[in-house]
Amino acid sequence: MIETSHFHPMLVHFPIALVTFGYIAELGSIFIKKELFLSKISLFLLVFGTLSAVAAYLTGQLFTADMSGAAEEVRKWHETLALITMGLLLMTTAIRSYYCYKGDCEKFKWFTFCLYSIATISVSITGFLGGTLVYNYMMPL
């Protein structure tokens, strides 16, 4: 039977993969200007990565065990960066989706690209800290 404590570990890999590959697609769309599909793929991966980041954050808040000592300090940083990541992804998704819906995907392209870049770095650091909790402090999966 699946315990609720397993929800967070099951979901955390989705935002890491979706956001990272979405960012790679976005880079490809910038360097290969004729390939419009890369920009669309990037947007879809951004949307699904954002949704999975929200789910991962909520399951982390609701279903993870309490910690103490050095592990608690790492957990606080992990939680703070997860919140920052989720905020960046929500802003990037909202801005980019709105302007693509209006038919002007190029508007604020560089601003959203910068937000996407920061969010990709942030999700990577958040994942690293989560891995540190699991492997260095033997937090259960």
- 109 within a domain of the structure (yes/no): yes
pLDDT over threshold 60, residue 12: yes
**19 vs 105 pLDDT, higher one:** 19
pLDDT over threshold 90, residue 139: no
The whole-number pLDDT of residue 9 equals 86
Residues 139 and 71: beta-carbon distance below 8 Å: yes
List the structure tokens of 87: 């905020």
List the structure tokens of 59: 């399951």
Taking the CA atoms of 87, 14, 112 and 128 in sequence, report the sign of the dihedral they define. positive
What type of residue sits at position 85? Answer: T
Residues 29 and 38: beta-carbon distance below 8 Å: yes
The whole-number pLDDT of residue 140 equals 59
pTM: 0.90
The whole-number pLDDT of residue 98 equals 93
Residue the block writes with tokens 């302007």: 99
- 141 within a domain of the structure (yes/no): no
Domain span holding position 122: 4-136
The residue-averaged pLDDT of 66-89 equals: 93
The CA distance from 18 to 86, in Å, is 13
Least confident of 24-33, 85-94, 125-134: 24-33
pLDDT over threshold 80, residue 103: yes
- 59 within a domain of the structure (yes/no): yes
What type of residue sits at position 22? Answer: G
Confidence of residue 112 (pLDDT cuts 50, 70, 90): very high
- 76 within a domain of the structure (yes/no): yes
Taking the CA atoms of 76, 126, 87 and 141 in sequence, report the sign of the dihedral they define. negative
The CA distance from 125 to 15, in Å, is 12
- Cα 45 to Cα 31, 136, 141: the distances in Å are 18, 31, 26
Least confident of 2-11, 15-24, 57-66: 2-11
Element holding 79 (H helix, E strand): helix 70-101
The residue-averaged pLDDT of 124-131 equals: 95
Number of domains in the chain: 1
